[in-house]
Amino acid sequence: MKTFPDNFLWGSATSAYQIEGAWQADGKGLHIWDVFSHTPGRTARGDNGDRACDHYNRYPEDIALMAKMGLKAYRFSIAWARIQPDGKGAPNPAGIAFYNKLIDELLANGIEPWITLHHWDLPVALQLEDDGWLSKRTTDYFAAYARICFDCFGDRVKNWITLNESWVIATLGFHEGIFAPGRKSDSEPYLVAHHLILAHAKAVKVYREEFQAAQGGQIGMTNNCDWREPKTDSKADQDAAQRSVEFFLAWFADPIYFGDYPAVMRERVGERLPVFTAEEKVLIKGSSDFFGLNHYNTMYASNVEPGITVDNYVYANAGVFKDQQVALTADPDWELTDMQWPVVPWGLGKLLLWISDRYNNPPIYITENGCATPDIVKEGSVEDPRRISFLNGYLGSVHDAITAGADVRGYFVWSLMDNFEWASGYDKRFGMIHIDFETMERIPKSSASWYAEVIKQNSLEG
């Protein structure tokens, strides 16, 4: 029997565009994913989040299911364009009213709200008028938007996440172009990342100086990272694995904990990597009360010499990836999820210990971890052995990391319900609750009951 700490936090997570729907309701403005998903060829089958799970209208029903599952915490994001339709103007009262009702309903059901201020859905007006995250102006707009949220919701919300997965915004949105806003560049990802880090720090400054003392909450950033295991015991492969994690996670975490980017990035990226001023370093360093981590994947890493391309060298000729000179491969025996991501529980444990060692053992919340599996409804429920096995494995790895000294304080399953999975559309089923999108029926999975039992007993078998 593996027992978690008494105060360990159990929850599940979603994001606004993936579940809310109501994309033009009650004064909401357009954001970049509204536009991107309506652009032909950008998403699977042309799927979009116009309706999604209809959470905007059905949130009481969804919260009732959360309570039935026994969730203690719920991480959700606020749609910036629902609060400020153009990203910088007067607040939209209807948008504020919606999130007030959502927060109050959660608290009435004994569920602690965790708010993410930005989960990829930048108001499109900022992209068109101010170049979005390519412009330093957006960092100030974000801080002003954050102030509105702290002021309107902070009396009841005690847990804030500024940005979700800045790596995805910078790399998939501005390097590969497969996520909104769909740009392809070898240099823009580094500038975008720079501005995202500054936006985070400015929002934290607002919270700490104007709200934290009175409201008594905490604030941090959530970054995503896959684990990189050396392909061999050679020093070259060990260095490649370390380099890959630094280009992935330390890119965003090192400025927060040390005040600047990793030296290996400065060495390899050169002038394409922006420079923080002395004042900005002071602003950024220490700007997180906890370490938010999203984790889904593990790969083997091996060194690739300059100028060499091999078949299994992922993104061999792409800027952000080519800068690393790392080949990524998977063990053919590893089980794959529907996203074709390997199921490797020990990778999460190793990553948690890497974070603990590098950043002086910060409090860590796993803000996302989960898997996509095929869902088949049978007699009104979903038999879900693969997800149960996945959760057993990954939670066991989390427990092992805690035993080894990592200060892990909570775990949020991705996701609460099946939803619009960005460019993958509605085919990828991550939810603890299955949604039949034809009828919008919510069907609890067997794993949901299992997870509720984990929460109830605060322990894990196996």
Q: Are 245 and 324 in contact (CB under 8 A)?
A: no
Bridge pairing between strands 159-164 and 218-224: parallel
Nearest-angstrom CA–CA distance, 36 and 48: 9
Q: What is the DSSP string of 150-193?
A: HHHHTTT--EEEEEE-HHHHHHHHHTS-SSTT----SSHHHHHH
The verdict on whether omega for the bond into residue 189 sits within 30 degrees of 0, i.e. cis, is no
223 known ligand binder: no
Query: 120 among the known binding-site residues?
Result: no
Element of type H or E holding 278: helix 278-284
**Residue-level length of the chain:** 462
Residues 264 and 240: beta-carbon distance below 8 Å: no
| Residues near 61 by beta carbon (within 8 Å), at least 6 away in sequence | 442
Candidate list 112, 176, 188, 368, residue with the active-site label: 368
Residue 406 structure tokens: 């990592």
129 in a known ligand binding site: no
Is 441 a known active-site residue? no
Q: End-to-end alpha-carbon separation of the chain, Å?
A: 6
Are 372 and 387 within 8 A, CB to CB? no
Tokens for 151, please give them.
Answer: 């002021």
Q: Is 295 annotated as a binding residue?
A: no
Kindly name the residue from 20, 165, 188, 246 that is annotated as catalytic.
Answer: 165
Give the whole-angstrom CA distance, residue 157 versus residue 159.
Answer: 6
* CA–CA gap between residue 276 and residue 92 (Å, rounded): 34
Alpha carbons 187 and 170: distance in angstroms, whole number? 10
- What are 374's two structure tokens? 């095929």
Active-site residue, 165 included: yes
CB 407 within 8 A of CB 365: no
421 belongs to an annotated ligand binding site: yes
φ, ψ (nearest 5 deg) of residue 322: -65, -30
Tokens of 437: 């999108």
422 has binding-site annotation: yes
Output the CA–CA distances (angstroms, integers) from residue 169 to 32, 183, 192, 195, 290, in the order listed.
Answer: 11, 11, 8, 11, 21
Burial of 269 (0-12, 13-18, 19+ CB in 10 A): buried
Q: Is 99 annotated as a binding residue?
A: no
Query: How many CB atoms within 10 Å of residue 156?
Result: 15
Active centre residues (catalytic): 165, 368
Query: What residues are designated binding site?
Result: 18, 119, 164, 296, 414, 421-422
Query: What residues are designated binding site for substrate?
Result: 18, 119, 164, 296, 414, 421-422
